[in-house]
Amino acid sequence: MSKKIINEVIDILEDKKYTYTMIEYPEHNRKSVDIVLNSKEPTLIRVSEDKVTKEEISDLKKIAVSTLTASLVVTNEEEEDIVSVKADNVFAVSPEGFKKVINGEKIFLYRTRGGIFIKIRNYILKHKREEMGYSIGDVAKFLGVSRKAIYDYEKGDSDVSLEVAEKLIDLFGDDIIGDVIWDSIKGKKEVIEEDITEFSPESFKSKLIYKLKENGLNILSLKLTAADLIVKDNENNRYLVTIENKDYNKSMKKFYEAKKLASYTKSELLIIIRTSKMLKECEDLGYKTYEENDIHSLLDEIKGSNGRQS
């Protein structure tokens, strides 16, 4: 992480008097989350001079989609007024673009592999079309697109080219233009998909995933954060599970940073301990701990939590 760009991001946040939390684990350069923004719409932020890796994007997507929030990648590789959509709920912006987001300004241009598009508010399109007495065929003819394209626009399944957007504004006004980041998230349902992508018979984490799934729990595996798993039960209770690693100091750092993420995601933090020394210290610190050879207690905690969280 470049100190120059992280300082630029922090200056923007402090200028607007936003509260935020720095995430310090893992300590090496390759990690998924640098900052948790505590705002009306909480946001995960990854700051990078380089292109972020697929693993980083994957972690950011899993946390954001499972909590119905946004993950932002702030990088000098992006243009000021264009958002790159990296994955569901994961958006890359320039430092200047990030400042616009923090200032509440609308960013309506976005880039995908298919080109540059404009975000439209599909519900406003449908409402205005019906209010003004236009049929789908009328609008399709005016725009020079198919009727199916209009259906897709109104369902939110497709956004529009610059040329089509200009015609829509002429017809319905500029309030039909949406915001790439926040309008993409509004109306989505919380999703947590099953994830067994890193199964290894010798890995404790893989065995734990298998055991949790065997008991009907939904699992998302994280690789570059202080939390190892996002776990969700049938009652929509959410947990972050963190596993002690071999290094004592790194483990204590990991648990502390995982607690920050748990607070952000409104999850309960559960820690799996592998040594007796760590067990005593974590209990003294008030962490909910479970021994590696007693996963049944962890399952009892999760399965017995109906109604405790929302």
Q: List pLDDT tens digits, range 226-259.
A: 999 999 888 888 999 999 988 899 999 999 999 9
CATH number at residue 98: 3.40.1350
Paired sense of beta strands 229-232 and 115-118, if any: unpaired
Q: What is the pLDDT of residue 69?
A: 87
Asked whether residue 34 carries a pLDDT value surpassing 80, the answer given is: yes
Judged by phi (left if over 0) then psi (alpha if -120 to 50, else beta), residue 286 lies in: left
- Answer yes or no: do 2 and 91 share one domain: yes
Q: What is the pLDDT of residue 310?
A: 38
Q: List pLDDT tens digits, range 101-131.
A: 999 899 999 998 888 999 999 999 999 999 9
Q: What is the pLDDT of residue 307?
A: 41
Q: Supply the DSSP string of 74-93, one letter for each residue.
A: E-TTS-TTEEEEEETTEEEE
Assess if residue 310 is contained within a domain.
no
Mean pLDDT, residues 38-57 taken together: 85
- Answer yes or no: do 77 and 169 share one domain: no
3-state secondary structure of 160: strand
Asked whether residue 21 carries a pLDDT value surpassing 70, the answer given is: yes
Q: Supply the DSSP string of 10-76, one letter for each residue.
A: HHHHHHTT-EEEE---S-SS--S-SEEEESSS-EEEEE-SSPPPHHHHHHHHHHHHHHT-EEEEE-T
The CA-CA-CA angle for residues 172, 160, 120, to 5°, reads 50
- Answer yes or no: do 75 and 106 share one domain: yes
Print the domain residue range for 272.
202-303
Four-residue CA torsion sign, 65, 70, 71, 73: positive
Q: What is the pLDDT of residue 176?
A: 93
Task: Please state the pTM of the whole predicted model.
Answer: 0.88
- Answer yes or no: do 130 and 92 share one domain: no
Least confident of 159-168, 181-190, 191-200, 230-239: 191-200
Dist. CA 70–CA 64, nearest whole Å = 5
- Answer yes or no: do 213 and 250 share one domain: yes
Question: The tokens of 264 are what?
Answer: 């952000």
Asked whether residue 133 carries a pLDDT value surpassing 90, the answer given is: yes
CATH number at residue 160: 1.10.260.40
Q: What is the pLDDT of residue 156?
A: 85
- Answer yes or no: do 167 and 62 share one domain: no
Q: List pLDDT tens digits, range 212-233.
A: 888 888 899 999 999 999 998 8
Assess if residue 34 is contained within a domain.
yes
Q: Supply the DSSP string of 6-25, one letter for each residue.
A: HHHHHHHHHHTT-EEEE---
Assess if residue 224 is contained within a domain.
yes
Dist. CA 80–CA 160, nearest whole Å = 20
- Answer yes or no: do 168 and 239 share one domain: no
Dist. CA 232–CA 267, nearest whole Å = 10
- Answer yes or no: do 106 and 135 share one domain: no
Asked whether residue 309 carries a pLDDT value surpassing 70, the answer given is: no
Angle, to 10 degrees, between the axis of helix 162-172 and the axis of helix 122-131?
40
Asked whether residue 199 carries a pLDDT value surpassing 60, the answer given is: no
Instruction: Please answer whether residues 66 and 238 qualify as being in contact, where contact means their C-beta atoms are separated by less than 8 angstroms.
Output: yes
Q: What is the pLDDT of residue 308?
A: 44
Assess if residue 308 is contained within a domain.
no
Asked whether residue 195 carries a pLDDT value surpassing 60, the answer given is: no
- Answer yes or no: do 244 and 295 share one domain: yes
The CA-CA-CA angle for residues 253, 259, 260, to 5°, reads 95
Share of the chain above pLDDT 70, in %: 91
Q: List pLDDT tens digits, range 62-76.
A: 999 888 889 999 999
- Answer yes or no: do 149 and 82 share one domain: no
CATH number at residue 277: 3.40.1350.10
244, 204, 202, 236: which is closest to 217 by C-alpha? 236
Least confident of 185-189, 221-225, 244-248, 263-267: 185-189
- Answer yes or no: do 265 and 246 share one domain: yes
Q: Tally the domains of the chain.
A: 3
Dist. CA 111–CA 14, nearest whole Å = 29
Residues in Cβ contact with 185 at an 8 Å cutoff, skipping those fewer than 6 apart: 68, 69, 70, 89
Assess if residue 218 is contained within a domain.
yes
Q: What is the pLDDT of residue 193?
A: 60
Q: What is the pLDDT of residue 301?
A: 83
Dist. CA 235–CA 257, nearest whole Å = 26
Assess if residue 283 is contained within a domain.
yes
Mean pLDDT, residues 179-190 taken together: 80
Instruction: Please answer whether residues 264 and 280 qualify as being in contact, where contact means their C-beta atoms are separated by less than 8 angstroms.
Output: no
Mean pLDDT (the chain) is 88
Q: What is the 3-state secondary structure (H, E, C) of 181-217?
A: HHHHHCCCCCCCCCCCCCCCCCCHHHHHHHHHHHCCC
Instruction: Name the residue type at position 66.
Output: S
- Answer yes or no: do 222 and 299 share one domain: yes
Instruction: Name the residue type at position 147.
Output: R
Assess if residue 141 is contained within a domain.
yes
Asked whether residue 40 carries a pLDDT value surpassing 90, the answer given is: no
Mean pLDDT, residues 265-292 taken together: 90
Assess if residue 82 is contained within a domain.
yes
